[in-house]
């Protein structure tokens, strides 16, 4: 932990001062939670849920929660905001309804909606104002507006209105995984419960007893989890290539504990914290979080708790997304046609693999070996890009394991990989440094480089080749990587195809071309200790 001695805010405006005080309050809340709870893991999770600061959570704990299908409880989004705002709504309405005078003369539903809006706004500010929380707050505003106008709060029209507002404010959210998961889950839940509500209207049943109420609650929880998991499986597979088959079991226990123990105790602790009376509420908060950790660990230890899937093709994603939306929006017999689109998308072959991959700086080059696995050049650079490639191939190996698979022969700044369709040569910056230190002319350097990449099918260099290695079928040097980003090469029956990150973006207004180094340097602000240049006479 880092102790903040001074934030440097001396002559700040009112907005920055408000942000400073809010950040101080968040730090004070985090310190109170850590001091009042004996379990460090529970305290770290409590800080994450109430202030949005997840830095205290260990990586192993995050991984366990993710494998149990509970990763959504770490990101403060619609689930948390609905629990806070919904709890305040029903509490305020129930308290005011105790008074016959207020119940007969005041619009209790609208007053409770205003209190829920205020609670949601406060939770948004206190939790760090993240993008996911902002998105959920926009949806809350639409719901509150519907209540104030005496309209149905939860409906397809309100969901469409919330999506429209978010996309008008931030159009790029349409490709964001969180946006897609949130709206697909809510879309599926609204569609399912609208269908069930229509059926209940046409079937007369006696009022349910206690046993039946419990059964209905458990059944509704299981059904909600199944629907949300099914609707979000597509963006999860497309963006993260991971699925949690036991997520229904994990949510079956964790969500009731979160909804009825953790969040109410946490909100009451926040309410009484300025008075120094938060201790009685920290005990149920800590034990509820312990239960979540305990059960998530058991679920994550089950066989097949996490399943890796290959990145689906874009056509398959489009077909399955269209099928899911069709199922949710249609109300007639044609609704089942969406299952056909989903089935076609599931049967569609995955995105084809690349035989050679190079990141945007040639820090790492990976080649598919005889077993279909990626074998990467040795070193430490480019671990993030390598991890992304492994995940796209549904390969559970770590970047270090992929570098240790062998096949590469390295020496003197030159690495070679003899694949079945041609040799791949990777030239590192060390080779360029050695050639420059020799001090010979460009023609000598060109001859040395030509000898290094002799008989190579693909050459990837971390420095400009300037015409060298022209005998190779594909030459990728520093200029190509700077201009087009990461490269992927496929050996095909009729030749070699090359795809680039820049080519995938297209010539769109928001896909800005790379700037030359001279212009990048001009944009850099001068250092604080740099004196201004002397005036010319």
pLDDT higher than threshold 80 for residue 526: no
Angle, helix 131-148 to helix 177-201, in steps of 10 degrees? 30
Residue 295: domain span: 14-306
> How many degrees, rounded to 5, is the angle at CA 437 between CA 433 and CA 438?
120
Mean pLDDT value across residues 229-245: 88
Asked if the structure places residue 527 within a domain, the reply is no
- pLDDT of res. 493: 81
pTM: 0.79
331 and 269 fall within a common domain: no
Mean pLDDT value across residues 362-373: 88
In tens, the pLDDT along 69-100 reads 888 888 888 888 888 888 899 899 999 999 88
440 and 328 fall within a common domain: no
Region of 448 please: left (phi>0), alpha (psi -120 to 50) or beta.
Answer: alpha
pLDDT band at 385 (very low <50, low <70, confident <90, very high): very high
Taking a C-beta distance cutoff of 8 angstroms, is the pair 50, 76 a contact?
A: no
pLDDT higher than threshold 90 for residue 130: no
Taking a C-beta distance cutoff of 8 angstroms, is the pair 468, 447 a contact?
A: no
Say which DSSP state 488 is in. E
129 and 52 fall within a common domain: yes
Q: Which residue spans within 137-240 are E strands per DSSP? A: none
Segment among 272-276, 407-411, 436-440 with least mean pLDDT: 436-440
Higher model confidence: residue 53 or residue 201?
53
- pLDDT of res. 522: 45
- pLDDT of res. 471: 86
pLDDT band at 532 (very low <50, low <70, confident <90, very high): very low
3-state DSSP call for residue 163?
A: helix
In tens, the pLDDT along 437-468 reads 666 556 777 787 888 888 888 999 988 888 88
pLDDT higher than threshold 70 for residue 198: no
- pLDDT of res. 317: 92
Asked if the structure places residue 515 within a domain, the reply is no
197 and 264 fall within a common domain: yes
Tell me which residue has tokens 């209540």.
147
- pLDDT of res. 203: 57
- pLDDT of res. 476: 92
Mean pLDDT value across residues 129-138: 86
Cα(188)–Cα(327) distance, rounded to whole angstroms? 9
377 and 451 fall within a common domain: yes
pLDDT higher than threshold 60 for residue 163: yes
pLDDT band at 202 (very low <50, low <70, confident <90, very high): low
Asked if the structure places residue 514 within a domain, the reply is no
199 and 335 fall within a common domain: no
Tell me the pLDDT of the chain averaged across its residues: 84
- pLDDT of res. 521: 40
Asked if the structure places residue 531 within a domain, the reply is no
128 and 268 fall within a common domain: yes
279 and 335 fall within a common domain: no
pLDDT higher than threshold 70 for residue 112: yes
Cα(495)–Cα(491) distance, rounded to whole angstroms? 6
Taking a C-beta distance cutoff of 8 angstroms, is the pair 295, 262 a contact?
A: no
Asked if the structure places residue 56 within a domain, the reply is yes
Cα(127)–Cα(48) distance, rounded to whole angstroms? 8
87 and 169 fall within a common domain: yes
Asked if the structure places residue 1 within a domain, the reply is no
362 and 447 fall within a common domain: yes
Cα(480)–Cα(497) distance, rounded to whole angstroms? 15
Asked if the structure places residue 516 within a domain, the reply is no
pLDDT higher than threshold 70 for residue 1: no
pLDDT higher than threshold 60 for residue 346: yes
72 and 132 fall within a common domain: yes
- pLDDT of res. 217: 74
- pLDDT of res. 6: 60
28 and 175 fall within a common domain: yes
Region of 336 please: left (phi>0), alpha (psi -120 to 50) or beta.
Answer: alpha
b/e for 4-15, b at 16 or more Cβ within 10 A? eeeeeeeeeeee
- pLDDT of res. 340: 93
What is the total count of domains within the chain?
3
Mean pLDDT value across residues 520-533: 43
- pLDDT of res. 528: 43
Asked if the structure places residue 219 within a domain, the reply is yes
pLDDT higher than threshold 70 for residue 146: yes
Q: Give 407-453 as a 3 state SS string.
A: CEEEECCEEEEEECCEEEEEECHHHHHHHHHHCCCHHHHHHHHHHHC
- pLDDT of res. 519: 47
Helices of type H across 12-130: 14-36, 40-51, 59-67, 78-97, 100-105, 108-126
Integer-rounded Cα radius of gyration of the chain: 29
Segment among 111-120, 182-191, 290-299, 328-337 with least mean pLDDT: 328-337
pLDDT higher than threshold 60 for residue 535: no
pLDDT band at 259 (very low <50, low <70, confident <90, very high): confident
pLDDT higher than threshold 60 for residue 12: yes
In tens, the pLDDT along 371-383 reads 888 999 998 889 9
């Amino acid at each position: 932990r880092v102790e903040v001695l001074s934030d440097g805010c001396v002559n700040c405006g009112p907005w920055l001062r408000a942000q400073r005080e809010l950040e101080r309050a968040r730090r004070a809340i985090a310190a109170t939670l850590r001091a009042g709870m004996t379990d460090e893991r529970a305290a770290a999770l409590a800080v994450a849920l109430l202030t949005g600061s997840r830095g205290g959570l260990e990586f192993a704990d995050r991984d366990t929660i993710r494998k149990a299908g509970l990763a959504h409880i770490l990101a403060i989004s619609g689930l948390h905001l609905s629990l806070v705002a919904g709890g305040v709504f029903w509490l305020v309405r129930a308290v005011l309804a105790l008074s016959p005078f207020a119940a007969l003369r005041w619009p209790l539903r609208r007053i409770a909606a205003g209190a829920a809006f205020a609670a949601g706004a406060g939770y948004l500010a206190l939790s760090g104002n993240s993008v996911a929380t902002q998105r959920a707050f926009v949806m809350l505003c639409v719901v509150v507006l519907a209540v104030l106008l005496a309209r149905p709060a939860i409906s397809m029209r309100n969901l469409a209105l919330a999506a429209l507002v978010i996309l008008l404010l931030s159009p790029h959210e349409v490709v964001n995984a969180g946006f897609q998961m949130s709206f697909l889950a809510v879309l599926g839940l609204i569609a399912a419960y609208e269908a069930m509500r229509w059926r209940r209207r046409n079937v007369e049943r006696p009022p349910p007893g206690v046993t039946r109420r419990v059964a209905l609650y458990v059944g509704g929880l299981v059904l909600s989890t199944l629907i949300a998991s099914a609707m979000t499986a597509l963006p999860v597979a497309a963006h993260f290539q991971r699925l949690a088959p036991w997520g229904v079991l994990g949510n079956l226990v964790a969500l009731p504990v979160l909804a009825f123990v953790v969040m109410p105790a946490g909100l009451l602790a926040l309410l009484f914290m300025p008075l120094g009376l938060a201790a009685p509420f920290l005990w149920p908060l800590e034990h509820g979080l312990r239960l979540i950790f305990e059960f998530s660990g058991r679920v994550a230890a089950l066989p097949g708790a996490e399943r890796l899937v290959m990145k689906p093709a874009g056509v398959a994603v489009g077909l399955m997304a269209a099928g899911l939306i069709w199922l949710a929006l249609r109300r007639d017999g044609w609704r089942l046609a969406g299952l056909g689109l989903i089935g076609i998308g599931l049967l569609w072959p995955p995105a084809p693999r690349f035989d050679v991959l190079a990141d945007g700086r040639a820090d790492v080059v990976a080649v598919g070996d005889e077993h279909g696995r990626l074998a990467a050049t040795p070193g430490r650079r480019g671990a993030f890009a390598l991890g992304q490639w492994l995940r796209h191939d549904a390969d559970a190996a770590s970047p270090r394991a992929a570098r240790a698979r062998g096949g590469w022969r390295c020496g003197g700044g030159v690495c070679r990989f003899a694949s079945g369709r041609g040799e791949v040569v990777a030239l590192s910056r060390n080779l360029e440094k050695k050639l420059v230190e020799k001090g010979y002319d460009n023609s000598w350097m060109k001859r040395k480089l030509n000898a290094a990449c002799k008989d190579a099918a693909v050459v990837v260099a971390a420095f400009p080749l300037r015409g060298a290695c022209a005998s190779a079928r594909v030459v990728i040097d520093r200029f190509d990587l700077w201009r087009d980003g990461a490269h992927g090469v496929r050996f095909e029956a009729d030749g070699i195809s090359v795809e680039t990150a820049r080519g995938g973006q297209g010539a769109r207004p928001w896909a800005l071309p790379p700037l030359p180094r001279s212009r990048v340097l001009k944009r850099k602000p001068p250092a604080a200790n740099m004196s201004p240049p002397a005036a010319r006479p």
